[in-house]
């Protein structure tokens, strides 16, 4: 991993955690003082993903559990428009939900069906979804975390 990659991950993971704490009043995961934040989030038992801004946002982060669940490499996942994490019939509902989150700031109980690279469908339950903002309060994207899923 290059120094540029490490710098991105460190900054991005701080944004993930700070924004999560703002909405949910607790840290995104248990942190170990001697680890950089990106290592703790990567090793979290929960699935953690995020995408950037734009009309068709691209995923920009996935921890190990997310990459395993979606059956993708880091480079595949971070070049994927986030709408493709859902099957076509689910995409409109997903888009509507994300607009609601944009307005409210967060949701603590999202459920939906997603699909892995190989076509495995899985239901996620009780996902937390929240808006991301940088240290200046500027919109930065959206993120989700969950630890409750089942294959369909």
Task: Check pLDDT > 80 for residue 34.
Answer: no
* Average pLDDT over all residues of the chain: 92
Which residues, in sequence order, are bridge partners of residue 101?
A: none
Query: What does the block give as tokens for 117?
Result: 């690279």
Instruction: Indicate the SS3 state at residue 102.
Output: helix
Task: Check pLDDT > 80 for residue 1.
Answer: no
Which residue do the tokens 């090793």 mark?
43
Q: Which of 29-33, 68-72, 133-137 is most confident? A: 68-72
* Residue scoring higher pLDDT (93 or 60): 60
115: left (phi over 0), alpha (psi -120 to 50) or beta: beta
Report the pLDDT value the prediction gives residue 132, as an integer from 0 to 100.
97
Task: Check pLDDT > 80 for residue 33.
Answer: no
Span 109-117, mean pLDDT? 93
Task: Check pLDDT > 90 for residue 94.
Answer: no
Please name each of the domains of the chain with its CATH number. 3-151 (3.30.450.20)
Report the pLDDT value the prediction gives residue 4, as an integer from 0 to 100.
83
Task: Check pLDDT > 70 for residue 143.
Answer: yes
Asked if 60 and 68 touch (Cβ cutoff 8 Å), the reply is no
Task: Check pLDDT > 90 for residue 13.
Answer: yes
Which residue do the tokens 């689910």 mark?
90
Render pLDDT for 52-78 as a digit per residue (tens, 0 to 9). Answer: 999 999 999 999 999 999 999 999 999
Span 3-19, mean pLDDT? 91
Span 108-118, mean pLDDT? 93
Report the pLDDT value the prediction gives residue 134, as an integer from 0 to 100.
92
Instruction: Indicate the SS3 state at residue 51.
Output: strand
Query: What does the block give as tokens for 7?
Result: 């710098």
């Amino acid at each position: 991993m290059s120094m540029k990659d490490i710098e991105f991950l460190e900054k991005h993971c701080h944004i993930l955690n700070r924004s999560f704490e703002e909405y949910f009043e607790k840290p995104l995961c248990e942190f170990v003082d001697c680890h950089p934040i990106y290592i703790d989030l990567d090793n979290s038992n929960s699935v953690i993903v995020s995408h950037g801004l734009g009309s068709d946002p691209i995923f920009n982060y996935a921890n190990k559990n997310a990459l395993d669940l979606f059956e993708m490499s880091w480079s595949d996942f971070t070049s994927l428009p986030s709408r493709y994490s859902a099957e076509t019939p689910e995409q409109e509902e997903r888009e509507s939900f994300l607009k609601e989150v944009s307005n409210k700031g967060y949701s603590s109980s999202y459920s939906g069906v997603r699909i892995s690279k190989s076509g495995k469908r899985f239901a996620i339950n009780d996902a937390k979804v929240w808006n991301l903002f940088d240290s200046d309060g500027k919109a930065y994207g959206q993120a989700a975390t969950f630890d409750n899923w089942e294959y369909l």
